[in-house]
């Protein structure tokens, strides 16, 4: 969407050729390789690693990574398009693509030195390696500054002890970026970011979570028991990890907003199709005001969410501070996803409550979007702080 010149905001959300190409490619891939397996993977909580290898071959696991490191070299518009199109079919796969791209790969892309980038990004961008990112702990969710996982320097290695939980790809990942405490509790300069490769002695995964939704996206604990990590695996300087993580989460919030938008669009499209096909009292239920008003609300909120996301993506592309915009996009889009999925189930009636129709899964998947990468309540704290600054 472009705004008239006389009320120009500086934003131009016109859909470019790259976006169209990416949208069609992802849509075709999802219909062929994801949709036939959605419920099978969901029921079994199966994380389809080979699917992500295929996505890597298409350049979709390194969307934002420059070509010199083996990535696609696209910007945030193409990235948002990728996540949306996948999430319209399966939120779980969309979540894993988002976590790999924006958290693990994005952290290295933005804060690693050149040697580190050349060492890890080509493997991540092609999905030769699957990436994980660890901040949350059992007792410190939103309160990250009081994390208990520690890293003590011993010669040219850090000795890491502790655990992380709610980690996407915690079991299947080949590499994890882990926030560790190298200073005092509560000190924002007391946290550092370490890259830890699979197979490092003392680095294991714990239990796999049995989740309400997003069940094909693997979620486990990470456990560190006297895990020795080379000092060369430190990203940036010691003590910069928290600041880095907050910047990574700004971009990650655009990811979760896009994931929310895709889920909302998937539920909406299914509901509209059903409302046109389902007949009661001699006519399609879409003709009834009670249904058409729900659809009107859904459509309006989806478009508003999309505009917020594109605004944040545009600012990210231009290197502008978009903390407020990313938080607004994530907060609003995630709540829209929940409302849209809820209304979609209502439109389907009893059928919407069964696993034979897609809206049941959208309903379960949507809720995570209001929790992951900063709850809706945390987003409101961020937005309020930015507005009142």
Q: List residues with catalytic annotation.
A: 373
Question: Shortest CA distance to 343 belongs to which of 298, 302, 306, 303?
Answer: 298
| CA 214/CA 96 separation, integer angstroms | 9
Question: Shortest CA distance to 148 belongs to which of 165, 131, 167?
Answer: 165
Cα-Cα-Cα-Cα torsion 99, 100, 103, 105, nearest 10 degrees, comes to: -170
3-state secondary structure of 382: helix
Tokens 């239920």 map to which residue? 285
Tokens 């990250």 map to which residue? 144
Q: What is the DSSP string of 141-167?
A: SS-GGG---EEEEETTEEEEEEEEEEE
309 neighbors 254 (Cβ within 8 angstroms): yes
3-state secondary structure of 117: helix
Q: Residues 112, 115, 116, 121: is their CA dihedral positive or negative?
A: positive
CA distances 161 to 152, 206, 258, Å, are 9, 14, 35
- 199 burial (CB, 10 Å; 0-12 / 13-18 / 19+) is exposed
């Amino acid at each position: 969407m472009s705004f008239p010149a006389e009320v120009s905001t500086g934003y131009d959300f016109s859909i470019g050729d790259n976006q169209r190409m990416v949208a069609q490619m992802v849509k075709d891939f999802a219909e062929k390789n994801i949709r036939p397996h959605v419920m099978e993977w969901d029921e079994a909580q199966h994380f389809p690693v080979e699917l992500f290898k295929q996505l890597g071959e298409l350049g979709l696991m390194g969307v934002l990574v420059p070509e010199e490191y083996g990535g696609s070299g696209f910007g945030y518009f193409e990235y948002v398009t990728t996540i949306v199109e996948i999430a319209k079919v399966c939120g779980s796969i969309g979540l894993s693509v988002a976590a790999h791209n924006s958290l693990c790969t994005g952290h290295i892309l933005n804060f690693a030195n050149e040697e580190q980038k050349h060492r890890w990004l080509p493997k991540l961008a092609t999905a030769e390696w699957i990436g994980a990112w660890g901040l949350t702990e059992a007792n410190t969710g939103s309160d990250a500054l009081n994390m208990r996982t520690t890293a003590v320097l011993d010669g040219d290695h850090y000795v890491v002890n502790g655990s992380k939980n709610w980690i996407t790809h915690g079991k299947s990942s080949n590499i994890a970026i882990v926030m560790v405490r190298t200073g005092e509790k509560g000190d924002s300069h007391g946290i550092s970011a370490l890259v830890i490769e699979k197979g490092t002695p003392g680095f294991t995964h714990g239990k796999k979570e049995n989740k309400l939704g997003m069940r094909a996206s693997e979620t486990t604990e990470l456990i560190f028991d006297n895990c020795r990590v080379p000092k060369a695996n430190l990203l940036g300087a010691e003590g910069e990890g928290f600041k880095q993580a907050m910047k990574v989460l700004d971009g990650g919030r655009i990811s979760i907003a896009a994931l929310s938008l895709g889920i909302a669009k998937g539920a909406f499209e299914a509901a509209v199709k059903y409302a046109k096909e389902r007949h009661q009292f001699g006519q399609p239920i879409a003709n009834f005001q009670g249904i058409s008003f729900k659809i009107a609300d859904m459509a309006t909120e989806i478009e508003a969410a999309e505009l917020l996301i594109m605004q944040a993506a545009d600012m990210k592309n231009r290197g502008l501070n978009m903390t407020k915009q990313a938080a607004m996009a994530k907060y609003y889009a995630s709540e829209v996803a929940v409302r849209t999925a809820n209304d979609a189930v209502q439109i389907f009636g009893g059928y919407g409550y069964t696993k034979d129709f897609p809206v049941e899964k959208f309903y379960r998947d949507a809720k995570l979007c209001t929790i992951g990468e900063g709850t809706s309540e945390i987003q409101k704290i961020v937005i309020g702080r930015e507005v009142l600054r």
